[in-house]
Structure formats: structure tokens, C-alpha cells
Amino acid sequence: MSEHFIPPTAKIVKPDPEETEPKYIPPPPPTFSTRKCKLCCAWGKGLLVFNATCRHCLSLQNTEAIEDGYFDISPFSDRSILKKTLTSSSYLPENRILPGSQIKIHHISRLLSNNEIYSTTKSEVSGVLVGGTDDPENVIVGRGNVIKGLDIALQTMYLNETALLKIHPPNAYLSNPLLTPKVKIGDSLFIKVMIEDVGEVLPRFPSKEELEQTKKERREEAEKELEENPPVPYEERRKEALREKDLGNEAFKKGDYEAAKKHYDNGFINIFIHRDEWAHLVSSSDKKSFNSVKSILHLNRCMCRLKMNKLDDAKWDADKSIEYSEDSNVKGYFRRLQVWVGVVRREMEKEGSGEYWDIEKVEEMVEKGKGDYERCREILEGKKDAAIEKNYKVLLSLESFLTKMKRKYAKQQKILYKDKIVKGMDEEYKKMKVKEERRRVKEEEEEDMPELEE
């Protein structure tokens, strides 16, 4: 049997293309050490400034002689920013451009390699339209609105000054300039800039170290203040709130409702706790204790506002009292029943003054008042309270009067519909019938007339 014999039961498996034709993996791009210059091989931490090149080699690459009025204004004297003043200004302190100055400039920005304009505020340069609008550009100096080299050069200029700038890396574009597609990373620039206006100086941004120092000082002040003035214990704050409640009750008995309300408000101030502290630091027992005090204060302030005829505020207090008492506060439901009685009476009094009021809305209020009464009966387990029954009877009497008013309005609507709408429709119908009758008579007369002879 041949060694190349293939049994009939064998399966043919196609070869893996990656084994027969392996993919080409390009070599990694050449990398340079983050501390070693690719030109002079100098080595050191913080030595490289642009494109794996040290500052000294960059200065040698910028081989232009500092002549013809150009001066090196780069921070490290590496000839990466050269400036030539064309027109000077009065060097007065108020005309000086400082970090944070709000200025307006005109500029003509070119590539140093081919003198091609890539950005400008001018509409015409040397008789050629270049696409600008002749509107100055607003710049805040030292805020990164422009490239680093231009930002540094602006801080050496004055109002109405015009200068030529030659800007080389690393003070030119170091990232992809999306708004200037003609410029590539590492291109040297030639910019003519004119200062048109110098405005107010904005306060400088604090450095990261200054921010950290400020945070540290504030934290130390807060800790010191906390040591000198420790927080009042929860139990003492609760007792102080109850003392204000008692003072408010005394003022209420004397009929001084404004003073009573003020005492209740002071009680709330004593037990106020920020929501973060309430969520993370206050125990469940302290929360229950505070909520019971809040429920009492809301209940008393609700009665106070009822006496002052501030019904909407009184209803809010009644709602909060019920909320803090875990839905078992019979006095809270009773207070809200009193509020509904007052609100329904207030709405129905508008009938006498000729004001608009919504009957359906008042009917909803009556139903809500009945619901609060039923809730009181449930909590009292069927027992009757004289004050609750009295207010419920008042609510029922208002409901009876409301029913009469509803019937009255329905009757008035029928009369209005009959007199104003149906009657008007009848008159229009009669007029239409008269017109039709006249037209019919006229047609019959025309049919009875003899035909004319030819």
C-alpha cells in the first residue's frame, strides 16, 4: 500500500491560511528613550522638550541668525520665539499686556517653510483676498486661547504695537490643530500680530499647589472651629426644640399667633440636620425621636396658621405632621379636616362676590375631607370625638349647599341653552323656511307664465 493512500472514510481538512500564508507583522516604530536626546545622545531627567530632542539641539536647528531687528524672547533662550517690533507704542504701564488681559488682535499667520497663509483676521493681504472678516480676534492672555509661542510674545507687547514673530517647536503646535489643517505638528510659524485693544485684566488662575494649600488651610480652620465649638448633642437640641414648642403654646393661648409661629419656627431651627448627616450619621432611634418632635411642631404650627387664615400653609403643615408620625396621627388628620372645611368655605364664598370658582374642584376637596374623617374613625377604632364630629357636620352642610348650587347652575345652563342657543336656532330655521317658501312660489309663477311666440 502506498504511503500516499487516503482511506475512503478520511475527512479532507482545509489548511489554515495563517499557517500557509502568515500575516505580515510590521516592525514596531523606532522609539527614543524618554531621557535621551536622539541627536546628541545627552541623557537626563526632564532634558527633552520636543520630538525626543533636547533644548540645545533645538536651538542649533533654528539656524537663523538673530539679526535684522529680531530678538530672542523664548523663556530658555533657545531661539524658539523670535520677535521683531515694526511699530511701537507708548510704553505706559496701563498699555502693558499682562497675564489675564482681555485683548483684541489682528494677525496674519503663515508657515515659515513656504510663506503660505493658514489663518488670518484680515480679508485682504497684499491685494489678495485671503478669507478673513477684518474683525479682531478676542484673546485672553495666558489662558491657552492661542499657541504657546504667541501667548508668550503677547505678554511682551503694548497697545497699538505691531510685531513679527518666528515661532519654532516646542512653542508652536504640539498637537493636531483641527481648525488649521494646513499646519502639521512640528511646523515653524511666521506671524504678524497687531494689538488693537487692551481691556481689563482677569484674576489669574490659582496653581495646583495653591489650591491644595487653600484646601488644607480651610480643613485646618474647620477642624479648629469644631474643637472650639463642638456640636450640640442631639438630645439637647431636641429638648431646646420642645422648650420652644412650649413657649409657642403659651403665646397661642394668649392669642398672639405671630409670636407662637415664630417659636415653632425656632424649634425647627434647633433640630435642623443636613441631609447628608441625616443619612449617614444619625441613628434610627435619634431619627424617630426627631421625627416625633417635628410632627408636634408641624401640628401646632398648622393650628396657628389656621387661626391666621393661611390655609395653604396650614395644609402643608398637616401633611408633614402626618408624614413624620408614620400615618397614625389622628390629630394630623383632624387638622387637615379643618383645613378642608376652611378651603371649601373660602371657595364657596366666591359665589357671593361674583368670582369664578370650580365646583368640581370643590367637590374633590369635600371628598378628601371625608377621607380624613374616615381615617380618624379608623385610628379611634369607631370612637367618636366631639370636635371631629362637629367639623364633619360642617363639611356635610357645605356639601349640601354645594349640591344646591350645582342644581342651580345646571338649571341656569338649561335656561341659557334654551334662550340663547335653541331659541336662536329656531329663529334662524324660521327665516330659512320663509326664504324657501318664497323661492318655491316664485318658481311656480314662472312655470305658469305663457311661452313667448317666435
Q: Which domains, ranges and CATH numbers included, belong to the chain?
A: 15-61 (no CATH), 65-201 (3.10.50.40), 230-327 (1.25.40.10), 332-426 (no CATH)
Residue 192's alpha-carbon distances to 79, 265, 318, in angstroms, are 17, 68, 73
> Which strand (E) or helix (H) includes residue 344?
helix 330-348
Could you tell me which residues come within 8 angstroms of residue 191 by beta carbon, excluding any fewer than 6 positions away?
A: 107, 108, 109, 110, 150, 164, 165, 167
Q: What is the pLDDT of residue 32?
A: 46
Set of cell numbers at residue 419:
334662550
User: Given its phi and psi angles, is residue 327 left (phi above 0), alpha (psi -120 to 50 degrees) or beta?
Assistant: left
Set of cell numbers at residue 40:
546628541
User: Given its phi and psi angles, is residue 2 left (phi above 0), alpha (psi -120 to 50 degrees) or beta?
Assistant: beta
Look up residue 161 and give its DSSP letter: -
Quick check: 202 and 216 in contact, CB under 8 A?
Answer: no
Instruction: Give the integer Cα–Cα distance in Å for 225 and 54.
Output: 52
Q: What is the pLDDT of residue 242?
A: 93
Look up residue 421 and give its DSSP letter: I
Q: What is the pLDDT of residue 1?
A: 47
Instruction: Give the integer Cα–Cα distance in Å for 242 and 264.
Output: 9
Q: What is the pLDDT of residue 138?
A: 93
Could you tell me which residues come within 8 angstroms of residue 385 by beta carbon, excluding any fewer than 6 positions away?
A: 334, 376
What pTM was estimated for this model as a whole?
Answer: 0.49
Quick check: 324 and 310 in contact, CB under 8 A?
Answer: no
The pLDDT profile of the chain, 454 residues, written as one tens digit per residue, is 445 555 666 556 566 655 555 555 555 554 445 567 777 777 777 677 666 777 667 666 655 546 677 888 888 877 888 989 888 777 788 888 888 899 999 999 999 888 899 889 999 888 888 888 899 999 999 888 888 899 999 998 999 999 999 998 888 886 655 556 788 888 889 999 999 999 898 887 788 888 999 999 999 998 888 888 888 888 999 999 999 999 999 999 999 999 999 999 999 999 998 888 888 888 989 999 999 999 999 999 999 999 999 999 999 999 999 999 876 788 999 999 999 999 998 888 887 777 888 888 888 999 999 999 998 988 888 788 888 899 989 898 888 888 888 888 777 777 766 666 666 676 777 778 778 878 877 777 666 655 555 5
